[in-house]
Structure 1
Amino acid sequence: MQFSERVGYIVWVSDLKAARTLEKYGSVHYMSRKMHYVVMYMNADRADETVRNMQRLSFVRRIERSYRNEIKTEYTQGVPDKTRFYSL
């Protein structure tokens, strides 16, 4: 089974009840009730078209792309760990 490339977006909304309709544009990962935003993922090949359609919705304030998958998560041990010298 081949998984398609996914892209994350943060959608700032004015109405959380209406934000439930965003599920038809992609998979909703998280909805913040306090700060009024939705974290969602969608297919990368149709992301531009989907974002244009979502911006037309009346409850969408702005849409930001998430760069979480582009952040380096592999770390090197370039600097020696000094915590072992100060242990009890």
Structure 2
Amino acid sequence: MTESSVKMEFEIQERQGLVVYVYHLRQSKQLRKYGDIHYVSRKMKYVILYLNQEDFPETMEKINKLRFVRKVEKSKRNELVTNFDQTLGIYKLTDEDREKYKNKSDKK
């Protein structure tokens, strides 16, 4: 097989974060089969898990039924605005401010 005959297209999978609060961290390894473990908090006993968006509702119900799970919450990260081009907080940049920031970046 040559490289030209096998064309694989890369598709970006939509992901959703899930915060799973557990009673004991020993069982947190069992959550690997449901998604990718991103972070484990030893102090507060929670696991941040990333799942495919299409499987999210069913998987969230399955995880919530596990005996070692205290509580499951959907991550709000997808709902946050991450485009900070022309605004700083609730204030819009003036033309003067844009020039000032542009000049600072040009000097570097």
TM-score (norm 1): 0.85
Aligned counterpart, 2:49: 40
1:43 Cα offset (Å):
0.6
Report 1 or 2 for greater relative contact order, CA contacts < 8 Å, sequence distance ≥ 6. Answer: 1
Aligned counterpart, 2:81: 72
Q: Does 1:4 align with 2:6?
A: no
Q: Does 1:21 align with 2:30?
A: yes
User: Which stretches of structure 1, 4 residues or more, deviate above 3 A after TM superposition?
Assistant: none
- The CA distance in 2 between the partners of 1:60 and 1:25, in whole Å, is 13
Q: Does 1:56 align with 2:70?
A: no
- Percentage of identical aligned residues: 40
For the pair shown, which has the larger CA radius of gyration, 1 or 2? Answer: 2
TM-score (norm 2): 0.70
- The CA distance in 1 between the partners of 2:55 and 2:83, in whole Å, is 29
Gapped regions of structure 1 (runs ≥ 5): none
- For these two proteins, the number of residue pairs brought into alignment is 82
State the secondary structure of the residue aligned to 1:10: strand
- The CA distance in 2 between the partners of 1:70 and 1:51, in whole Å, is 18
State the secondary structure of the residue aligned to 1:63: strand
